[in-house]
A and B are shown apart, each in its own frame.
Chain A
Amino acid sequence: MTLQGVLDAVAAVLMVTGALLSLAAGVALLRFPDLLSRMHAAAKPQVLGLLLMLTGCAIRIATVVDITTMVLIAVFQLATAPVAAHMVGRAAYRDGQTRTDLLLTDELAPHLDRFSDKPDDKPSRFPATPPE
């Protein structure tokens, strides 16, 4: 078996594994019961699946310019995916769209009053009448 054949086989294994992670996320989106567990499964193709596919692609296309582009794709994806997941999870928790009966611990629950969005029980930082 030539070196090219071995490299192609390694790339194929990496890319099939990445596609399997995408399939796992699809199954999990259908089967998991609530938003937080779906988000947990949704991160797999976004990070590990894309990185495996990028590695396979870098083995197949082995030029410096294209590998630089792939490193940029990996860096941007690793930097932005957690931010989006954080914003979605934050909005879900504040709106009460998470199933608290499925949680083992809820470390935010004792501090609910500190980020309540309801205007009447939030102490106003800007009083209606400015102090004299």
Chain B
Amino acid sequence: MTYAAVAIAVLLTAACAMTLVRIVRGPTTLDRIVATDVLLAITATAILAEAAFSRDPTALPVLVVVSLLGITGSVAVARFVSREQDS
């Protein structure tokens, strides 16, 4: 199980690093929003992996909130981007 934990940690860290590179490089706001959504999903995956390896369900309600509210940021910015194009 320890090998699996190390493998998952390495994979998720590499994925987070590449997603952060996309957030920094852009080039458009919508690219950054998509990358931020992926970063949120990877974070939720990491929290779940921690809960699974330590058999500790304390963090699971946090993930309920994250999966419900993760939508708001991208929807708001998507609206904002098309509104900005109007004016």
Q: A residues within 8 Å of B by Cβ?
A: 8, 11-12, 15-16, 18-20, 22-23, 25-27, 29-30, 35, 38-39, 42, 45-46, 49-50, 53-54, 56-57, 60-61, 63, 65-66, 69-70, 72-73, 76-77, 80-81, 83-84, 87-88, 90-92, 94-95, 97, 117, 119
A117 CA / B87 CA spacing, docked (Å): 10
Taking a contact as CB atoms closer than 8 A, the residue among B45, B61, B81 that contacts A91 in the complex is B81
In the assembled complex, 12 residue pairs joining A and B whose CB atoms fall closer than 8 Å, in A order, are A11-B52, A16-B7, A19-B45, A22-B11, A45-B41, A53-B45, A53-B48, A57-B49, A57-B52, A61-B51, A69-B60, A90-B78
Partner of A22, one of B41, B71, B79: B41
Taking CB atoms, residues of chain A closer than 8 Å to B52 are 11, 15, 53, 56-57, 60-61
Flag if A92 contacts B12 (CB, 8 Å). Answer: no
Q: Chain A interface secondary structure, helix, strand, loop or mixed?
A: helix
B11 touches A84 (CB 8 A): no
Partner of B79, one of A57, A69, A87: A87
Residues in B26-75 with C-beta less than 8 Å from chain A: 28, 30-31, 33-35, 37-38, 41-42, 44-45, 48-49, 51-53, 55-57, 60-61, 63-64, 67-68, 70-71, 74-75
Indicate whether A117 sits within 8 Å of B82 (C-beta atoms), given known contacts A19-B45, A80-B68.
Answer: yes
Q: How large is the interface on B (under 10, 10 to 19, 20 to 34, 35 or more residues)?
A: 35 or more
If A22-B15, A60-B52, A80-B68 touch, whether A12 touches B44 (CB-CB below 8 Å) is no
Contacts of A90 in B (CB 8 A): 78, 82
Contact A19 B68 (CB under 8 A): no
- CB <8 Å contact, A35 and B30: yes
CA distance A72 to B62 in the complex (A): 12
A27-B18, A87-B75 known; A80 and B11 CB under 8 Å?
A: no
